[in-house]
């Protein structure tokens, strides 16, 4: 599972995911599905060691995913994301609440 920190910064929800060792252009998918933010990442590494005339190759692969609820009314175009030093930061502006409306009376017809 991907470890994340979530906090509010003014009117913005900030989500920070710990993803060291991944290429953000190739290994991270970020999308919205049914009001949920879906984050998927894949980490790949290869290591070759030669010792005593033998070549030892270690391959490590791993996929990670996390789904987080988004505030109601947020669209894909509202969200921004950046990656630096192994941290993916996602910024989601919080929708402003609609002003309270005065109650409107509904007339009842007699029939």
pLDDT band at 12 (very low <50, low <70, confident <90, very high): very high
Domain boundaries, the chain: 4-93
Return the pLDDT at 73. Answer: 83
Return the pLDDT at 76. Answer: 87
- DSSP 8-state class, residue 36: E
Using one digit for the tens of pLDDT, what is the confidence trace for 58-84? 877 788 899 999 988 888 888 999 999
Instruction: Estimate the share of the chain in helix, then strand, then coil, as percent rounded to the nearest 5.
Output: 5, 55, 35
Backbone angles phi, psi at 22, to 5 degrees: -115, 155
Best CA proximity match to 23, nearest among 39, 1, 41:
41
Return the pLDDT at 82. Answer: 96
Q: How far is CA 39 from the centre of its chain?
A: 4
Top-tier CATH class for 4-93: mainly beta
Share of the chain above pLDDT 90, in %: 42
């Amino acid at each position: 599972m991907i470890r994340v920190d979530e906090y509010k910064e003014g009117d913005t929800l900030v989500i920070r995911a710990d993803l060291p060792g991944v290429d953000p252009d190739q290994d991270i998918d970020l999308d919205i599905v049914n009001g949920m933010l879906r984050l998927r990442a894949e980490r790949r590494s290869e290591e070759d060691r030669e010792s005593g005339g033998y070549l030892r190759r270690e391959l490590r692969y791993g996929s990670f995913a996390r789904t987080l609820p988004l505030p109601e009314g947020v669209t894909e175009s509202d969200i921004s994301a950046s990656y630096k030093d192994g941290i993916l930061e996602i910024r989601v502006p919080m929708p402003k609440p609609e002003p309270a409306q005065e109650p409107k009376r509904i007339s009842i017809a007699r029939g």
